[in-house]
Amino acid sequence: MTHLQRAVASLRVIGDDVVPAEITRLLGTSPTAAYAKGDKWDLPSRGGVRTSGMWRLDAEVTEPENLGEQIFELLRRTTTDLDVWQALSGRFRVDLFCGWFMSGSNEGVEISPVTMIALGARGIVLSVDIYSPDVEGEHG
């Protein structure tokens, strides 16, 4: 199987009651980005206020895709206390958001049992967006 060309991954905690400082304290690491519901958008072009809160920690981009390494990079940077994870996943949507980018057709990814167990034990949902190669004339 040919691996995906590139992968991005972020650990996200999302919800109306997200208090970024609380999530940072519980997970034991600073986020890449975070905001609370009602915060103003940082980008002037977006305007308005945030309709929900989010705490996000980004992994290093991998080329070719290496989801297992990205997941364990994020987990090494956060708490190992499964009670904390279960409490968070009970209060908020906790997910591992992945963007997978293809350079051609029929590329794939494998997720090991160890990786699935690590996510499941923490109540982390795996969310995936898959981006096909930009074929000339197809997207424009």
Note the pLDDT tens digit of each residue in 49-86: 888 999 999 999 888 888 889 999 999 999 999 999 99
Residue 135's pLDDT is: 53
Q: Could you tell me if residue 139 is inside a domain?
A: no
Q: Could you tell me if residue 77 is inside a domain?
A: yes
Note the pLDDT tens digit of each residue in 101-122: 888 777 778 889 999 999 999 9
What is the three-state SS of the chain?
A: CEECCEEEEEEEEEECCCCHHHHHHHHCCCCCEEECCCCECCCCCCCCECCCEEEEEECCCECCCCHHHHHHHHHHCCCCCHHHHHHHHHHCEEEEEEEEECCCCCEECCCCHHHHHHHHHCCCEEEEEEECCCCCCCCC
Range of the domain at 119: 2-39+48-131
Q: Could you tell me if residue 113 is inside a domain?
A: yes
pTM summary value: 0.86
